[in-house]
Structure 1
Amino acid sequence: MRIKTFDLIGISAIFLLIISFAIMLTINFTPLYAWDIDYLSISERTGLSKAALLENYQVLLHYLNRPWVTALHLPDFPSSKSGLLHFYEVKRLFLFDYLIFAISSVISVFYVRFLKKTKCEWILIRPFGWGIAVPIVILFLMSAGFDRFFTQFHQLFFNNDAWLFDPAVDPVILALPETFFMHCFIFAFVLIEVLIIAVYFYSKKTAFRK
């Protein structure tokens, strides 16, 4: 089986493209939060209307998504220095994801074109066949205990405890319950699974046709 450094870079780029795209779509998929406002009774928890919650959520996304927006001022929620620090660190992760998406997109396009030109799409079959199992395993681990998964996720990506919001000084946490983040993770990993399966069957169909 021909797997060279060039192929490893190309295959890795496609995986990174899938992951970064799924993250990008999930963090900007406002309908999920709108649905959770009703499903998790967030209005009752915060004393704010659904319209007000969505307005605050859009302000937060505006800050997290745009590098030129340097200050976060939520209309209905005060923020502590610790809370603002955490949102700043989340912003950096958002922007890093967009950078990964841009770089992996370029590499993936050139690599897929190369595979088509050389009729070597079959190279994608095995790695993406194996890749199908990864999101399933992660979803299983999440279902076994999301609290632990959520904590370990923050310990991996953040080197402080600013993510441990105190509702007394950062009441925005009442509008962003842990269950909402669980739904975000589920949505992202299901999307990743669907995209990996799509690449697997595409490569398999193309290889067998040729």
Structure 2
Amino acid sequence: MNQKTWLFRLGVISLVLTIVTVSITVTINAYPLYVWELKQSGISETYQLSIQNILTNYKVLMNYLNNPWIKQLHLPDFSSSKEGLQHFKEVKQLFFLNYFLLIVTIYPTYRFIRGLMSESQMWRLIRPFQYLSLFPFLGFFGMIVGFDQIFVGFHKLLFRNDYWLFNPYTDPIIEVLPASYFLHCFLLAIICIELLFLITLWLSKKSLTKETE
């Protein structure tokens, strides 16, 4: 296998990582999705909290997860156990791992795409992204039919403890983070990934059409 083949494969990997991390970034910061979830689920009525109060706590949580300078999480209307705080600390680490991968891959991806375009080689992405575009469909179907099992497996894979199994008495914040919200987050991420895969595939095919004209 020659050097050009290896560089192409590394470029594809970088492109895929950029697409995945961009999609995750969009999803975890999709504030309108959580607002919609609150209105659809009726959580504020069930737990006798106003939507505004819940959103205030949600913003505090997201500021903590997204801001490296905030070292302690203190939710104004919810108590937190030691285990719950530790779990959010681990989630924060995953957030920044995602951001790190996005930062370190976005420029190599730009150079890769720019190089392919300058050499009229975008068509080489057609076959890889034809295959790659199948995976989000499978993921979407899997989430619909077996979300609970996937959700549990996801947490067992990413976390070395069971602190993610929140007790609503000691960590009542979990009451306003329903399973349906996480399902919709997963689905949104999958849709974003698939959309970007298809855009890449479309651009690749379009470049091939231009070359044959």
**TM-score w.r.t. length of structure 1:** 0.97
Q: Is the CA contact (8 Å cut-off) linking 1:56 and 1:75 kept in structure 2?
A: yes
Number of residue pairs aligned between Structure 1 and Structure 2:
209
The answer for the alignment partner of 1:156 in structure 2 is 157
Displacement of 1:45: 3.1
1:209 aligns with 2:180: no
Q: 5 Å matches for 1:60-79?
A: 60-79=61-80
Two-structure CA RMSD over aligned residues (Å): 1.1
Secondary structure at 1:47's aligned position in 2? coil
Q: Please name the residue that 2:92 is paired with.
A: 91
Matching residue of 1:101: 102
Task: Tell me how far apart the structure 1 counterparts of residues 74 and 188 of structure 2 sit (CA, whole Å).
Answer: 28
Structure 2 distance, partners of 1:147, 1:184, is 14
Percent of aligned positions with the same letter in both sequences? Answer: 41
Contact 1:124 1:203 in 2 (8 A): yes
State the distance in 2 between where 1:174 and 1:157 align: 22
Cross-structure match for 1:7: 8
Report what 1:112 is aligned to.
113
Aligned partner of 1:17 in structure 2 is 18
SS at match of 1:145: helix
C-alpha displacement of 1:142 = 1.2
Give 5+ residue unaligned stretches, structure 1: none
Offset, 1:44? 2.2
What are structure 2's unaligned runs of at least 5 residues? none
Q: Conserved in 2, the CA contact under 8 Å of 1:45 and 1:175?
A: no
Scaled by the length of structure 2, what TM-score is found? Answer: 0.96
Q: Please give the alpha-carbon distance, in whole angstroms, between the structure 1 residues aligned to 2:201 and 2:139.
A: 19
Secondary structure of 1:4 counterpart: helix
Say whether residues 1:48 and 2:49 are aligned partners.
yes
1:46 deviation in Å?
2.6
User: For residue 183 of structure 2, what is the aligned residue in structure 1?
Assistant: 182
**AA at the equivalent of 1:184:** C
User: 1:103 deviation in Å?
Assistant: 1.1
Offset of 1:112 from its aligned partner?
A: 0.7
Which residue type is aligned with residue 66 of structure 2? N
Aligned-partner residue type, residue 192 of structure 2: L
Residue of structure 1 equivalent to 2:196: 195
Contact 1:45-1:174 within 8 A present in 2 as well = no
